[in-house]
Structure formats: C-alpha cells, structure tokens
C-alpha cells in the first residue's frame, strides 16, 4: 500500500487512536496515536530544524495498522507506504527504526538519525501525556511532502 496524499496519511494516523503499539523488546504497550504524537514532539524538541526526522517519528508505527498482527514486518510496510509521499530519507528512517544494521549499508549520518529516532520512540510511552494534536502536524507533513514532490519533478 502506498500513501498518495497528506489527507490519506492523516486519516491513517487518526485511525491509530485505540490501536496498541507493543514494543518488540518488551516495555509498556501504549496507544499508537499517543505514541506517534509523543515521538514527534520529542524529536521536535531535540532536532527542531529537522522536519523529516520529526515526521519519521510521527509515522514510524503506522505499519502496525496496515496489517494488524504481523508485527515483525511493520517497519518495512510503513516505509513502503510513506516513500511516495514523504521521500526516501523519511522512508529509510522508518524502515531502520527497528531493524539491525546488517540490512544494507548505513552511513554514519543516517545511523545517528536512526539512533535519535529509536531513543525518542522508546521514551514516547507516557500514558496520558499531552503532546498536542495531530492537526498541529498537517503543515509540517505538507511541507515535507511538497519538497519531495518538487524533487521528483526535477528528475
Ligand atoms: Fe514505536
């Protein structure tokens, strides 16, 4: 499945409300929608200029919704879904947020970004913490999406 518009992605993120993110390495399950907003908010604080990293944090768990139950493959599923809309870098960060480094060459800069994303999503498990609302992210998603579309038309 590939996402073709920010509206489509927003619908999917809204649908994360009431779904559960169950961490692979143990840890407390958390509402997937809260988890997405908290991860993005933590990244906005630690990397205020890096909109793509923040957006990767926002969408990193949507694969769990795309095919419920098949947990192992969810990062790859989410990565494929967001690539046409948000671009290769966001897709790569999403894919690597849970995989080992042996899956393809990972350059130093990407590795550092992935570690920041991993740490943020591990910390983003506070039940009831107010991390804003999804609508706050629409303009950021549109910005990243527009940038990617421009790049694609240049090719
Ligand atoms: Fe997560």
Given a cut of 90, whether residue 152 has pLDDT beyond it is: no
pLDDT at 110: 85
Per-residue confidence band for 73, with pLDDT thresholds at 50, 70 and 90:
confident
Given a cut of 90, whether residue 53 has pLDDT beyond it is: yes
Distance 69 CA to ligand 1 centre (A): 15
Q: Are 85 and 78 in contact (CB under 8 A)?
A: no
What residues pack around ion ligand 1 (CB closer than 5 A)?
61, 121
Mean pLDDT, residues 29-45 taken together: 95
pLDDT at 68: 62
pLDDT at 62: 94
Distance 121 CA to ligand 1 centre (A): 5
Distance 78 CA to ligand 1 centre (A): 12
Given a cut of 90, whether residue 128 has pLDDT beyond it is: no
Could you give all domains of the chain from N- to C-terminal order, each with its CATH number? 6-154 (1.10.3210.10)
Given a cut of 60, whether residue 103 has pLDDT beyond it is: no
């Amino acid at each position: 499945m590939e996402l073709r518009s920010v509206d489509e992605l927003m619908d999917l993120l809204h649908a994360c409300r009431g779904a559960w993110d169950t961490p692979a390495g143990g840890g407390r399950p958390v509402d997937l929608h809260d988890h997405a907003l908290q991860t993005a908010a933590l990244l906005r604080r630690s990397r205020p200029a890096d909109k793509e990293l923040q957006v990767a944090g926002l969408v990193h768990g949507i694969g769990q919704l795309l095919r419920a139950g098949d947990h192992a493959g969810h990062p790859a599923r989410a990565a494929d879904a967001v690539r046409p809309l948000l671009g290769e870098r966001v897709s790569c960060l999403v894919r690597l947020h849970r995989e080992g480094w042996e899956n393809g060459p990972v350059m130093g800069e990407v590795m550092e970004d992935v570690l920041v994303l991993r740490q943020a999503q591990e910390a983003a498990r506070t039940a009831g913490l107010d991390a804003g609302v999804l609508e706050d992210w629409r303009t950021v998603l549109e910005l990243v999406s527009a940038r990617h579309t421009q790049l694609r038309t240049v090719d």
